[in-house]
Amino acid sequence: MSTRDELQPPPVDIGTTLDDGPFTTMQRCVVLLAALAIVLDGFDGQLIGFAIPVLIREWGITRGAFAPAVAAGLIGMGIGSACAGIVADRFGRRQAVIGSVFLFGIATCAIGFAPDVATIAMLRFCAGLGIGGALPTATTMTAEYTPARRRTMMVTATIVCVPLGGMLAGLFAHEVLPRYGWRGLFFAGGALPLVLGFVLVRALPESPRFLARRPARWPELGALLA
């Protein structure tokens, strides 16, 4: 693409269309999908806490033995959160959200196969990367799709989905652990974000603000906001 083309403005006025425009059905669906990603982010983040008492009894080890696994998850979350912006700016908000959801879903499912605490710690670190990355990228997607007059309310509502997910994890664990054990808890808990991940692949569009900064993708931007 020529320099002249790169200097041309995008085909759609993002400020007028998004900041000052109506809150369309498509935008509401994007916010809903982002909120679901954050709910499962909080959900998977809490599963280990409900599984540890069962693991202690089954493996005959102390609670302190799980400190590395808990710490590994927190370290992963910190790194994932710190790197999320870089990934989202480089590859797009859509790819960052989807990648984060698949990562913590796969890692959580894999914990169900873990033979020891060291393996759980490694997988919790991987899950933490996705859990840490999902919140800021999904929140950014919400902010970039919401009209200015509703942005604060919508972003706050999506962030509140983290403790909501944790609460649902407690209810889920109460039902699943007695029937299927800790392995079943992680299998089912990891399957939920994987299902959502495939939904996101099909239904989640890229952020128009991200597209506006890439002239090669302006046709996609025009079609998205048409």
pLDDT tens digits for range 3-31 = 444 445 555 666 677 777 788 898 999 99
- The answer to whether 105 and 194 have CB atoms below 8 angstroms apart is yes
Lowest mean pLDDT among 83-87, 122-126, 182-186, 222-226: 222-226
Q: HSE on the CB side for 80, CA within 13 Å?
A: 28
- The answer to whether 215 and 6 have CB atoms below 8 angstroms apart is yes
Whether 36 shows a pLDDT value over 80: the answer reads yes
Q: What does the pLDDT read at residue 216?
A: 81
pLDDT tens digits for range 108-136 = 999 999 999 999 999 999 999 999 999 99
Alpha-carbon torsion (41, 43, 46, 48), positive or negative: negative
pLDDT tens digits for range 136-185 = 999 999 999 998 889 999 999 999 999 999 999 999 999 999 999 999 99
Let me know the angle formed at the C-alpha of 46 by 41 and 52, rounded to the nearest 5 degrees.
145
- Spacing of C-alpha 3 from chain mean position: 36
Whether 53 shows a pLDDT value over 90: the answer reads yes
Q: What does the pLDDT read at residue 10?
A: 57
Read off the pLDDT of each residue in 69-90 and give the average, rounded to a whole number: 95
Query: Which homologous superfamily does the CATH classification assign to the domain defined by 24-224?
Result: MFS general substrate transporter like domains (1.20.1250.20)
